[in-house]
Chain A
Amino acid sequence: MVTVITDPVSGRRPSNVRALVGAVWRNNLRLRRNSASLVSALVIPGMSMLSFWVVFGHAASSAGFDYALFLMAAAMFQGVMFAAGGSAMALAVDVENGLIARMRAMPIRALVAVGGRMITDLLRSLLSLTAIVAIGLGCGAKPDSIGGLLMACLVALLMGEVLVLVFCGLSLRSAHPVQVASLIQGIELPLLMMSTAFIPLAALPDWLEPFIKHMPFSVMIDTNRAFLNGLTPGNEGWEALGWLVFGLVAGSWWVSRTFRRQA
């Protein structure tokens, strides 16, 4: 005689799809109730973009430079980065209060926990991008085409997903996940400043140029700018694609392993 372990209510074996839907439902409930998270998603990247535009916009316009469009690509990236940092913090809190340990002892796939965060992060990033595009257009940014704008958004969203994987993996791996998540949130802006987000490559010192040019954030942002300006991304585009594919594949593998890591 054998006993089959099944759910006594529905008579089904655990379903990872339902588990994933449940995780997203819970994350979204929390997101709706967390006003700080909504402010971070909807207001801060747009405010940051607006601040740069107010200070430097006039000078750039005098030189015939569409600084609003230039900033829009950076703000998009900032938006998805903040969303990913928020996801890492939410996951870190789950680790510290024992929810992740409980989930690890359940018969669900490793990616349910992180996948739930990725989907929620996608929704939050979409909200953020909507606000950024609205503010950018309000500042006078003129994307070359709707298609280019959508492609730029797509690149930003994919980069956001890679960042969620990396940040969540770092939080899961640490013995002090909330501290790590705080550190991640703290270094986001400095990292962004070390890219072509707010300053054109030509304005940087020669010795810094090669490093800044090829850092992943720069190639993503420059690819976005190419799409927004109606240009075909050159080498940056391929570099960006390489980073995205590598980040998504390696990140998923790494996070799965980290989630199921047994000391």
Chain B
Amino acid sequence: MPDPGMIVPAGEVALSVRDLCKTFGRGTKAKQVLMGLSFDVHPAQVVSLLGANGAGKTTLVNIASTLMLPTAGTVTVCGADVVTRPRQVRQCISLTGQFAAVDGELTGKENLIFFARLNGLSRAAAAKRADELLERFRLADAAGQRAAKYSGGMRRRLDIAASLIVEPQLLFLDEPTTGLDPLSRRELWEMVDELRGQGVAILLTTQYLDEAERLSDDIVLLREGRKVSQGSPAQLRQRFGASICKIGLDEATLAQKVATSVLPGVLGRAQDDFTVDALEVTFTALNGAEDLIAANRAIIASGIEITSTSLTPPSLDDVFLGTAFVSGTEPVEGV
């Protein structure tokens, strides 16, 4: 009969954060680092917390992994509250912090055996599991080498391998690729994909937009402890960014004419909204493809020949820079 303290409902939300607040210090020195944050992470889902330094990403990970208490709000992991049932929470999670938490004096294999023993494996089972993980993370050749001599990428792989001794239901990856070379980053991304494929829920914090875009099912944008927005990378782009439209023409004079007399009237915009660069007219397509089509039709109708036309969707950088850093951005309800 399973211990009631160790069971969690399957198929439920892996991580649920509701109205989470965290304040450090008291009185005049009080600093609020999380303000009313709410979001969920489901099994087989990667949710990224994206924000500038000091946005509250690591504080949230520390609270969700039972290392810190919330000031207000609730956080549940696999149905267990992090404040009232921390032991049950710890049975569901693995934490990989900002820095590789491995023992440099021990070899790679010894490190994994150590963490396996901490997880309650017998000596033989620990050695077997260590070998499996060393193989899986391509560290088998360096198994007997002290971790202090590992490269940054190898140490990070060992660190994550140590988190997977007992595969968790929820894995916290706190800026896992900081300081890694491009190849190691790509390998880590593949590993995250693999874990998601196995049903592991992953909460990732990152400052790298390409990483968030590549890995995330959902992105929670944080600014100064508040959720600015939440959604898939595509949804965020659609919500916050505007596409850039470029139209190429035969002659510079025609480009000037299009920018000053044709398009402002058709699109209902000021002349300043259009930029002419040699033979190309560039403008922000606030209505996406509709603006592109309207512009093309108007130019053709005025007897001017178009040589090229393009519509570039906004990047996540545009979204991030427009929401995470710009002061005065109001929080937006997530989807």
Residues of A within 8 A of B (CB): 1-10, 12-16, 18-19, 21-23, 25-26, 29-30, 33-34, 94, 97-99, 101-108, 112, 262-263
Q: B110 on the interface (CB 8 Å rule)?
A: yes
Q: Which residues of B contact A (CB under 8 A)?
A: 2-3, 6-11, 24, 65-69, 87, 90-95, 97, 99-106, 110, 113-122, 125-126, 128-129, 162, 166-167, 169
Extra pairs beyond A29-B106, A99-B102 (6, CB < 8 Å) = A3-B7, A9-B116, A22-B116, A97-B103, A98-B100, A107-B90
Q: How far is the CA of A16 from the CA of B99 in the complex (A)?
A: 26
Q: Is the CB of A2 within 8 A of B8?
A: yes
Of A5, A7, A16, A263, the most chain B CB neighbours within 10 A belong to A5
A contact residues around B119 at 8 Å (CB): 7, 14, 19, 106
Whether the Cβ atoms of B117 and A25 lie closer than 8 Å is yes
Residues in A with CB closer than 8 Å to B95 are 101-102, 105
Q: Are A102 and B120 in contact (CB under 8 A)?
A: no
Q: How far is the CB of A49 from chain B (nearest CB, A)?
A: 30
Are B2 and A26 neighbours in the complex by a CB distance under 8 Å? Answer: no
Chain B contact residues: over half helix, strand or loop, or mixed?
Answer: loop
B8 cross-chain contacts in A, Cβ below 8 A: 2-3, 5
Is there contact, CB below 8 Å, between B120 and A5?
A: no
Write out the residue numbers on chain B whose beta carbons fall within 8 Å of the beta carbon of A33: 105
Q: Which of A12, A22, A101 is the one whose CB lies under 8 Å from B114?
A: A22
Query: How distant is the Cα of A262 from the Cα of B10 in the complex, in angstroms?
Result: 28
A-B contact number at CB 8 A = 132
Contact across chains for A2 and B120 when beta carbons are under 8 A apart: no
Choice from A2, A13, A26, A106 contacting B10 with Cβ under 8 Å = A2
CB-based contact A23/B90 at 8 Å: no
A19 to B90, CA, bound (A): 15
Contact B9 A2 (CB under 8 A): yes
Offer 13 A-B interface pairs, CB within 8 angstroms, sorted by A. Answer: A3-B169, A4-B7, A7-B121, A7-B166, A9-B128, A13-B3, A13-B91, A16-B120, A22-B126, A29-B106, A29-B110, A102-B162, A107-B91
B99–A262 CB distance below 8 A: no
Q: How far is the CB of A19 from chain B (nearest CB, A)?
A: 5
Chain B residues contacting A14 (CB-CB under 8 Å) are: 91, 119-120
Nearest-Cβ distance from residue B147 to partner chain A, whole angstroms: 11
A residues near B10, Cβ cutoff 8 Å: 1-3
Q: A4-B2, A26-B110 are contacts. A112–B92 as well, Cβ < 8 Å?
A: no
Known: A19-B118, A33-B105, A101-B101. A5 touches B67 (CB 8 A): no
* Contact status B120-A12, CB under 8 Å: yes
Residue of B69, B114, B115, B121 touching A9 (CB-CB under 8 A)? B121
Measured between beta carbons, the chain A residues less than 8 angstroms from B92 are 5
- The CA of A26 and the CA of B116, in the complex, are separated in Å by 12
Option from B6, B24, B118 in Cβ contact (under 8 Å) with A5: B6
